[in-house]
Amino acid sequence: MIGLYPMGELQEICQKLSNLQIDSGIDEEALPIHSLPVEILCRIFRMCIPDNPFKRHTQHSAPLLLSRVCRYWKEIAWNEATLWTRPRVALSSGSIYSELRLLRSTLEVYRKRSKDADFDLCVKTSGFNIILQGDLQTLADTFPRCRGLWVSCHDAFWLLFNELRPVMLDQLEYIFIKIHSPSGVLHLRNAPRLRAVRLHSVHPWCLEVFTLPYTQLLYFSCIMGRIGLSPTLSPAVDGWRSLLVKCPNLRVIEAYFQGYGSTDRSSLIRSSIMSAKFDHVRKIIIRMGFRTDLATILSGFSFPIIEELHVIATSHPVCLLPPTVSFFEGLNTTLSYVSRLTSLRLIRVSFGSSELQALLQTMPLITSLDIMLGVFHHASFEIEDENLRCLLTIHDFELHPVIPRLRHLRLYLKVYDISQDDNAAQYAIVAHSRYRWMSKHANTGENPQISKALPSYPFRLYLKYEPNGKDIIPAVARAIGSTAFPVLWPEHSHCFLKEQ
């Protein structure tokens, strides 16, 4: 390419490029963001740290990522102590000497830069590596500063917890443990500040290795696995229920019962009979990977002040009540607590139109509703929300509608065989009628309680859509009309099967 240009012309081109680079050079100190006070920039940086204590951080997240943007950011990030409170240590089956050096150097950097702030320590082991006493001691020295622990470990690493002294747990507020094959008992009963516990991939017998400060716990989450080839999860559910009744002060209960999704009705689990009253529980999240029903899992439990309920099926539509119980009777007995809900999420539910209507009429306080109705078909989930849309559409503004306080509705877009305009109109009618009804009642003050609770937007439709449904979103917006901007909130989904 050089031979295509005379030498003089080539020099001229090079000079122009050099001048262009100088003229377009960016002075980092002149950037608008650098005019912000350091305190404001630090506050923005702190917002990059996840609020969820159980969300695992990586080398691609703050503070390491912030220090790679420019010198100015690096200087600020390296001197902001609160950014260095979440050290992550990964021990792989590599060189023992290099592993120990990396462990010590990583913790030393975080200790130095975090100053006196509390730690949220993440420790992960991969493979059955040999754990030296030096590794254990290095980690143990960090524990007295730990506000939270995120631990994924194998059998050998369990020795670390067996040797913990009570003084090392004085600051511990939450702990996440992904256990594989624990050896010995984990003593956490003497952790005076422990409030939240999350256990991952737990077999029923593993629950016996924990000694927790049960009456202190406010949040308990558990992912339970199946034992061998057992067709049911009765031992898992029973073990979970037995542990749950020891925790009378819980605010949030979360559980995921994994399974292969047996469709045989005879494989419905039958949990042991025990009763308990949870006076403080406000939120329950239950995920099910096998054929069962919510009433069986929570049989005998009562929740006087519950506000949020999430029930999610991962392989077959979930049932709320066993087939032997009348749905209408069960709403007044076994599931009576649903009448106090303000937020309900049912993903892949299964019941008839009359049952759906009875359920909605039982919940007058609901402000947020997220229901995915339909059936599993091969490798997809086919949406069937016609009954739901019909029940939630307000046709007569003089009558009291189903769920009068509804402000947030999440529907899952189905690509119908009918025309796009007709399809869009069906969703628009729901959104428009709800918006008009809520606006009317908010402005006239006919119901002071509803008017007082209404935000600046009286109703929003969060419409989830898969890639093949993206073209209909503009049609829905057009059908809604001038109020589409505050009302319609599209949410893209790669696959409804992942909406868990």
- 437's CB contacts (< 8 A; 6+ apart) are 394, 397, 401
Distance CA 311, CA 292 (A): 12
Cis before residue 63, ω within 30 degrees of 0? yes
Give the separation between CA 221 and CA 282, rounded to whole angstroms: 14
User: What pLDDT, on the 0 to 100 scale, is given for residue 8?
Assistant: 56
| Interatomic CA distance for residues 127 and 99, integer angstroms | 13
Q: Tell me, rounded to whole angstroms, the distance of Cα 426 from its chain centroid.
A: 31
Which H helix or E strand runs over 476?
helix 472-480
Tens of each residue's pLDDT in the chain, 500 residues: 444 445 556 566 666 656 654 554 555 555 666 677 888 878 887 777 766 655 555 556 677 777 777 888 888 888 888 888 887 777 665 545 555 666 777 778 888 888 878 888 877 776 544 555 556 667 777 778 888 888 776 655 666 666 666 667 788 898 888 776 666 677 788 888 999 999 887 777 777 777 889 999 999 999 887 544 444 557 778 888 888 999 999 999 999 988 755 444 444 555 566 789 999 999 999 998 877 889 989 989 999 999 999 999 887 778 898 888 889 888 988 899 999 999 999 998 888 888 999 999 999 999 999 999 888 776 677 888 888 999 999 988 777 889 999 999 999 988 766 677 788 888 999 998 898 888 877 654 455 554 454 456 789 999 999 888 888 888 888 888 877 778 899 999 888 877 65
How far apart (Å, rounded) are the C-alpha atoms in residues 388 and 366? 15
Q: Measure CA of the first residue to CA of the last residue in the chain; give whole Å.
A: 57
Range 223-231 contact pairs with CB under 8 angstroms and sequence separation of 24 or more: 223/199, 223/255, 223/256, 223/258, 224/255, 224/256, 224/257, 224/258, 225/201, 225/258, 226/258, 226/259, 226/260, 226/290, 227/203, 231/262, 231/264, 231/267
DSSP 249-280: T-SEEEEEE-------GGG---PPP--EE-TT
**Distance between CA atoms of residues 459 and 368, nearest Å:** 10
**Phi, psi for residue 186 in degrees, rounded to 5:** -95, 115
- As a whole number of angstroms, the distance between CA 386 and CA 197 comes to 40
C-alpha 306 chain-centroid distance: 19
Using the structure block, give the residue that is written with the tokens 């030296």. Answer: 132
Residues with Cβ within 8 Å of 51's Cβ and at least 6 positions away in sequence, in order, are none
CA distance linking residue 88 with residue 397, whole number of Å: 57
Q: How does DSSP classify residue 57?
A: P
DSSP 305: T
Phi then psi dihedrals of residue 30, to 5 deg: -90, -5
Tell which phi-psi region holds residue 179, choosing left (phi > 0), alpha (psi between -120 and 50) or beta.
Answer: beta
Backbone angles phi, psi at 381, to 5 degrees: -125, 115
Q: 492: which strand partners?
A: 465
Which has the closest alpha carbon to 346: 276, 416, 285?
A: 285
pTM of the model: 0.81
Helix, strand, coil abundance in the chain, percent, nearest 5: 40, 20, 40
Q: Following DSSP, what letter does each residue of 330-387 receive, concatenated?
A: HHHTTTGGGGG-SEEEEEEE---HHHHHHHHHT-TT--EEEEEEEEEETTEEEE--HH
Q: Six-digit token pair at 195?
A: 């409030």
Domain chopping of the chain, boundaries: 196-366
pLDDT at position 365, please?
A: 94
Amino acid at 372: M
Distances (CA, A) of 362 to 97, 328, 449: 64, 10, 19
Main-chain phi, psi angles of 204, to 5 degrees: -55, -40
d(CA 480, CA 425) in angstroms, rounded, equals 8
Q: What pLDDT is attached to residue 267?
A: 47
Sign of the torsion formed by the C-alpha atoms of 99, 102, 105 and 111? negative
Query: What is the per-residue pLDDT for 263?
Result: 45
> How far apart are alpha carbons 136 and 161 in whole angstroms?
9
Q: Name the token pair of 455.
A: 């935000």
CA neighbor of 140 nearest in space, from 104, 110, 112, 115: 104
Q: How far apart are CA 487 and CA 309, in angstroms?
A: 24
Return d(Cα 391, Cα 359) in angstroms, integer.
Answer: 11
